[in-house]
Homo-oligomer: A and B are copies of this chain.
Amino acid sequence: MSKQPRIELIILGNELLLGSRTNEHLSYLGRELSSFGLSIACNHVVQDDAKEIERAFKDAWKRCDIVITTGGLGPTSNDKTRETIAKALKKELIHDSEVESAIKDRLSQTGMPLTEKALKQCCRPEDFKVLPNRIGTAPGLFYKEDGNVLIMLPGPTVELRNIFERQAIPRLQQEGLLQEEKNALQLRCSGVDESILEEHLAPLFQEYPEVKVGYFPKQNIVDLRLSPVKPGLKTETLQALAERCKEKLGSNFVCYGDDGLAKMVLQMLSERGRVIAVAESCTGGLLADAITNVPGASKIFAGGAVCYNNDAKIEMLDVPEALLLQHGSVSAEVALAMATGAAERFYSDYALSTTGFAGPGGGTEDAPVGTVYVGFYSPMGAWSRKVHFTGDRPTIKQLAVNAALDWIRRELLEENPEEIDRSIETWMIEEILG
């Protein structure tokens, strides 16, 4: 299949149409397919109703090379996809004894009996192939007719993803409908604006018209996604381009893939045998939370203090009362004292602190809502910086957390200067005390 095949996706989802869940299957399949240079032409979310399924399927089947359906393969009376599509394609439903024994095996592991209802899942339309389900009961299904392909996946997220990656993709490859391997790369960048990134990298991407470039900015992190425009791109080409990007990105490059800043920071600290602590005012625990979301954080994270009021800053972090009275709790001086206090109290090598106005109330003329002072303590000294963000309260908290983690990430990189390229160093942080 050298031309771009037309793919449509039919998702059964009463809950999606009621607005009670978001369409994660579309996001997942869209991303997965794009990493093979394929794209979804259209996604139909339909009600769990035989007529709706039939109409959507018949229309799509006429005009598509590949139709993918999700949901409606389970044991309940609401699960109508198998029957409806069999009827639409004029196929008999036949009992598949291999599926039955697989389902029996699976159920016996969990001590559940094989009910009449579960038996429904042992049927498949004639001429359909089974895509075995290794983690649930309802298998996926695969059908080919005149070069057109139908892939039917069960609705539960984990089962859908498992069958898609382990069964459906290899089957497409085996049938010669997909010649290549997955081929997409994501570079995560921090501390640089999307538009600057785009401007800086554009000349490079002009050399690679066969690569699709996507920028996905979120809370001062920009994900740069590289994938094939169409099937046929060599993995080596993509990797070479990614390496050139990485070089140009310098210290703005965080990692390949989608690890968070906290994970990268903990990794660097772990390599250096160092320990970190935090002192939070305006981020209110979110910085500690980001750090402790990383498995194994307990070895590197000494602890944190969330100190909203002055008493707590004095009692828990030894911030001098005179400093609070003279400069106010939202100040560069207090951020510095908080970081230092956290490092001393938690016996840590490094510390980060935040104090600011996350809104919607508070703020002063000099420091309106969105103003945050970030403090940084290290074996080399302690500093603080003033930053300003816009957004609602949770957004400002998240942006402040990202700014703090990005600061220590860059400082740790500096300690190994050979890793750094400062070509597009663009701090969005104003230096206050240096």
Contacts and interface: CB of A to CB of B under 8 A. Distances in A.
A295 B43 CA distance: 39
A278 B304 CA distance: 12
Contacts of A59: 59
Contact of A295 (B22, B292, B296, B359): B359
A228 to B, nearest CB: 13
A150 interface: no
A196 interface: no
A22 B296 CA distance: 30
A41 B30 contact: no
Interface residues of A, number: 73
A23 to B, nearest CB: 5
A50 B284 CA distance: 48
A337 interface: no
Q: Quickly give the copy total for this chain.
A: 2
A84 to B, nearest CB: 15
Contact of A30 (B18, B32, B39, B52): B18
A27 interface: yes
Interface stretch (A110-118, A163-171, A311-319): A311-319
Q: Name A's interface SS.
A: mixed
A27 B19 contact: yes
A412 interface: no
Given A16-B26, A22-B22, A26-B16, A303 B307 contact: yes
Given A284-B288, A296-B361, A304-B285, A16 B42 contact: no
Given A22-B27, A303-B308, 13 more contacts: A23-B23, A26-B45, A42-B52, A44-B45, A278-B306, A284-B297, A285-B286, A285-B287, A285-B289, A285-B291, A285-B306, A292-B358, A303-B306
